[in-house]
Structure 1
Amino acid sequence: MNPTPHRRRRRAAALTTLALAAGALLATGPTARAADVGLAADLVVAKDGSGTHTTVQAAVNAVPAGNPSAVTITVRPGTYRETVQIPSNKPHIRLVGSGSSPSQVTIVYNNSAGTTRPDGSTYGTSGSATFMADADDFQARNLTFANDFDEVAHANQSGHQAVALRTRADRIRLENVVVNGDQDTLLLDTAGRDTRGRVYITGSTIRGNVDFIFGRATAVITNSTIEVTRRPDGSSGGYVMAPSTAPQFNGFLITNSTITGGVTDRTYHLGRPWHAGGDAALDPQGIVRNTQLSAAVRTAPWTDMSGFSWRDDRFAEHRNTGPGSGPASADRPQLTDAQATAYTPAVWLGDWTP
């Protein structure tokens, strides 16, 4: 017997309801796309509970693995004392502070290389990071990453390296951020020794005193302030960068920036070569060009590290200014204008335009 029109309408409505329910179940499964669940507009972190999450890590956890397009996590003003990791299978995350300046949104923790984990082991330098960006195409804007490990309070502990931000992926963009720490503040790394990892940092501030910009990434730091700070004991002295570049890649390029700090004159090196693990095949590279150098910088700005001479690696300057700058000499290699055309952000970043 043919159903009546009323029964046909009820059956159609039931089938539609089942289809919608099935679609909703699929959209919330592990293979859901960011667009399916509306994440790009909905992820808001607020300590007071007025957002969708109260911690940054909880918001990251809500992003489905393998998201194919941009997901924005907006973080409202406050201090978020937590460690955060963006795993390698969650690319395209945009982390944005909603305050009027980077100081209004701070993500901070106090692990160090020598801090003991719950299982009794120690974190090590890389594992000490407050924030770990291990996925490609990560961006951060208008917030502060910090590590406030207290070296004085832990004077008897070995392993005082304490990372505020670690990147370990390709096409990382950081704009108008502050990266604040002491020893080993900013680790710009890659997923592997022979894997390319590019980082672009602009309009930002990086603070520290010993090897506080380090790692094997190909990184451009431009239009930024690099602030050398005194050691926790009040002494003055240290190193801005410690690249550990593989020979087939470019290393660190600092350009159109300022290197400054309220420290004793002539006490800071621009950098030294980090041959991680004693790997003699590495070819660390650090270039500082068109940058204002304060009197904090030594007249011989490069130095050796762990038995490896900086002269055997790739360190040079070009057209720097300020009281910390100086003419070409055996201790201060300078690029010629012709050579400098190969040391630009565009060359460094290749087919990626941030």
Structure 2
Amino acid sequence: MADSSSNSLFIKPIYIAFVIAFAFLISSPIGSYAFTAQNVIDSPLLTKKIGTNRTIKVDINGNGEFKSIQAAVDSVPEGNSQWMIIHVRKGIYREKVHIPSSKPYIFLRGNGKGRTSIVWSQSSSDNVESATFKVEAQHFIAFGISFKNEAPTGVAYTSQNQSVAAFVAADKAAFYHCGFYSTHNTLFDYKGRHYYDSCYIQGSIDFIFGRGKSVFHNCEMFVIDDKRLTIRGSITAQNRKSANENSGFVFIKGKVYGVGSTYLGRAKGAHSRVVFAKTYLSITVVPAGWTNWSYVGSTENLYHAEYDCRGPGSESKSRAPWAKQLTKEEVAPLMDVSFIDGTDWLPAWL
């Protein structure tokens, strides 16, 4: 039989080392993140919030009511007025999916953006035509799904230019833990009030664009290199045309990183409005930060702004002359879901 005293001498140093390591972990920034990361919005929470047991199962292997996501959407009655869950099990679904305006209250629930993917490959001179996924119905939720357009990088000013992963033209639409993948014009945030939480968005040029009124909370924007090399890309191209138009993109927390170099945004409309707040900006963000490339007109009405960002790309001394560094008071109305009236329609938010 082993000597118990020798065992205790062996265990104590391990125990002490564990306690020290644990204390360090919870006191460090990494540890703090690890222990607060549990505050996420997950699928069971969303299911509970919308309060329904109406579910359609989609399984590419045939273990559900449908093998196709579009077939499941088509089965939802016109004028639907109660939440319907379309549970899309893991797999790569190679199809274009359209949720028309006549079919509100759909919750498209995947098994995780690394496990459930909607994939197509199409470039077009028409952004909407090229889109892998289109939603036009109010009260829409997506969770844990990747939307991908696998078309190769296009050639500027030709029909091979647009390759949209998702076209969002619905009011009151929310995406949680989703991924959006393309090269040029990835996410067409066309119009309406939208919420993106913990999403991953990848592209090279204008990869979040449109005139939506949207909050991007804790999202990752990954910049990929554009193979044309003649254009420096921008993350956003927000198309607010007048002071009376109530639209804009607000990024809260999250991070910008990747390869190559990019602008945070370019002026697509005379009153383009984009704000990055408390966001990590890597070296991929160029010193000027913002550009009015291709926009002809005064820059005095552009609202390209930052607040309390960090990282090597957040240095503000060489920013474009119209760019703003906001105060706490100025940014306050934009810093939560009240910007999109989210407390009235979102099932959950952070």
Distance, in Å, in 2 between the alignment partners of 1:94 and 1:45 is 13
Alignment partner, residue 238 of structure 2: 243
Where structure 1 has 5 or more consecutive residues not aligned to the other structure, the ranges are 1-38, 115-123, 191-196, 276-281
Offset of residue 199 of structure 1: 0.5
Alignment partner, residue 268 of structure 1: 262
Q: TM-score, normalised by structure 1?
A: 0.77
Of the candidates 301, 317, 334, which is equivalent to residue 306 of structure 2? Answer: 317
Alignment partner, residue 85 of structure 1: 98
Counterpart of 1:129 in structure 2: which amino acid? A
Q: Secondary structure at the match of 1:241?
A: strand
Offset of residue 127 of structure 1: 1.8
Of the candidates 307, 316, 322, which is equivalent to residue 327 of structure 1? Answer: 316
Q: Is the 8 A contact 1:143 1:177 kept in 2?
A: yes
My pick for the range that moved more, 342-351 or 54-63, is 342-351
Q: Is the 8 A contact 1:244 1:274 kept in 2?
A: yes
Q: Is the 8 A contact 1:86 1:135 kept in 2?
A: yes
Query: Percent identical across equivalent pairs?
Result: 30
Of the candidates 97, 119, 141, which is equivalent to residue 108 of structure 1? Answer: 119
Alignment partner, residue 12 of structure 2: none
Offset of residue 93 of structure 1: 0.3
Offset of residue 252 of structure 1: 0.3
Q: Is the 8 A contact 1:326 1:332 kept in 2?
A: no
Q: Is the 8 A contact 1:273 1:308 kept in 2?
A: no
Q: What RMSD over aligned residues (CA atoms) do the two structures have, in Å?
A: 2.1
Alignment partner, residue 66 of structure 1: 79
Of the candidates 323, 336, 341, which is equivalent to residue 345 of structure 1? Answer: 336
Alignment partner, residue 16 of structure 1: none
State how many pairs are aligned. 289
Of the candidates 186, 190, 215, which is equivalent to residue 220 of structure 1? Answer: 215
Distance, in Å, in 1 between the alignment partners of 2:313 and 2:278 is 13
Distance, in Å, in 2 between the alignment partners of 1:175 and 1:346 is 14
Distance, in Å, in 2 between the alignment partners of 1:301 and 1:257 is 17
Alignment partner, residue 273 of structure 2: 285
Seen in structure 2, the aligned counterparts of structure 1 residues 178 and 63 have a Cα distance that, compared at 3 Å, is same
Alignment partner, residue 140 of structure 1: 142
- Which structure has the greater CA radius of gyration? 1
1:231 equivalent to 2:226? Answer yes
Seen in structure 2, the aligned counterparts of structure 1 residues 301 and 110 have a Cα distance that, compared at 3 Å, is same
Counterpart of 1:217 in structure 2: which amino acid? G
Of the candidates 280, 283, 300, which is equivalent to residue 295 of structure 1? Answer: 283
- Residues 183-202 of structure 1 show CA distances to partners (whole Å, capped at 9, x for unaligned) of 00001112xxxxxx100001
Of the candidates 237, 248, 253, which is equivalent to residue 250 of structure 2? Answer: 253
Where structure 2 has 5 or more consecutive residues not aligned to the other structure, the ranges are 1-51
Alignment of 1:70-219 (within 5 A): 70-98=83-111, 101-114=112-125, 124-151=126-153, 158-190=159-191, 197-219=192-214
Q: TM-score, normalised by structure 2?
A: 0.78
Alignment partner, residue 60 of structure 2: 47
Distance, in Å, in 2 between the alignment partners of 1:202 and 1:86 is 21
Offset of residue 284 of structure 1: 1.5
Distance, in Å, in 2 between the alignment partners of 1:86 and 1:338 is 39
Offset of residue 83 of structure 1: 0.5
Q: Is the 8 A contact 2:176 2:196 kept in 1?
A: yes
Q: Is the 8 A contact 2:54 2:83 kept in 1?
A: no
Q: Is the 8 A contact 2:215 2:337 kept in 1?
A: no
Seen in structure 2, the aligned counterparts of structure 1 residues 242 and 45 have a Cα distance that, compared at 3 Å, is same
